[in-house]
Structure 1
Amino acid sequence: MTQLTVQDLDHTSKSEDGSELHLTHLDPIPSYEESISAPRPGSLQILGATFGGVTCTPQIQKLVDTEGGGERLTLDLRRLNVALRPDPAPGVVKVLTVLYRFDDDADLDTRLFYATEDANPSKVIISRQTAAAAQAQAQAQRQSTSQRGGGASSDKLFHGLLERPWRAGPGGEVDILAVVYGPRRVEATPVLSVLANHFEGRWGQVRMTNDFFGKDPWPYKRKTWTIYFRFVGSRRVQVVTGWENGALEIPWSRQ
């Protein structure tokens, strides 16, 4: 697992007038990863995965069971801190996100799963059969939310086929595949527009805060964020993840 780096600066320095300044700063640095250009052969292909502010794609791919002629991924949410050790944030309820596809999906289709460690059911199986059932449930939930006039669901678990990626108009250079903040998928156009402009090089540092995402989806909880994206014309999925109040300011590969 790519370990989240934390800079913890607690020191005393001098100001211009000679007085002491006590500086205490906790600044999580985002964890970044690119998928391979052509995903590994097989029916279940893990394009990216994050857990507690770090990337863990290889570890999740190793958990895919290929025995019995059909691939499936079995997850015990209560033991993710063991399966994906070292635990990136002991004592904190974390969110797992997995972006994947099946080999017979449309060329650029992607599927998203995310869940908190304390979500129910605690045991989750990702396979062709469960994905179909999850997609039907996700569509029903989306229709119900739309009829109520609400926004994105704040459930602790989501599983479904993603609709077409978000792109900033005909001339857009980046496809935003999915954004997850805490236990909520973010689909607000102002947020996606800023992120697309950032990855295209037209926006500087972005501070990942409740204000930026529009609201606090998980009050009194320390939250992570994850962004899956790719450049138009590329099959390479890129993912960046980190903790709230961290800054998004890493250069991106356009290959």
Structure 2
Amino acid sequence: MPVAHLVIVMPAYNEAEGIRGFIDEIRDNVASLATRVTFVVADDQSTDATVATLTGIDGVHVYPQPVNRGHGPTALAAYRAGLDLEPDMLVHVDGDGQFVGPDFARLIRAVESTGADVVHGVRHSRTDPWYRRTLTGCVGMLVALAAGRRVPDVNTPLRGYRPEALRVLIDAVPVEALVPHVHFSLAEARAGFVVRYLSVRSIPRRGSSTNGTMWGSGVKVTLPPRRLREFAAAALREAWQYSLRPGAPLRSIRPLSDAPEGARP
């Protein structure tokens, strides 16, 4: 049975070269699985033509952010705008287009067939710089220690949520969080969310410009750039404050099985 209303949300920054084609590819692959498909793009004050590229396209809603805030806050803004549209399923993916269309169809089918609260797309064949992959691995080990179990690809940006489960997470995470998906993954593991994992292909960012991506990875370098080192330190402090320390706010997320009647799908 098709999803009545599928909402796909994207944070984006300087993705004019590839985002239109990425949206078209996703739409082509999921059209048969949903009665209605809506795209929500939260633009983080792009300096290129990202907003103009998407303006006026049927089914695409663009939300320019008031200031440049970085990936985490922009992703949360996209999630919130998507939830406001009252979807029956919500999929998040970054606007840099590092996934392929058929995997979106597989993700949606997995949410539907497994009854999961969330399905994570676990990336294989990643082409990101070694330090990005290393950082993901280190964060994964930290989350595994805190959650008591391994969470594959803990910071993956490709996720399919049932709205009821997503609202529990969104309500608990600060709007300016730098690494919301790390908080989400840890809270899901601790609170007893039904999580499934789907292996998906990772491809290089779409577009040849080096001034795109919200992570500053367009330029080929051999060592972690200063911006990423500073971000990693700030993200670690945030993870400790909100998710890891004794008494951290996100430790109080209730298991969905304990939620009030009607709160689970």
TM-score by length of 1: 0.31
* Structure whose residues are more often helix by fraction: 2
TM-score by length of 2: 0.30
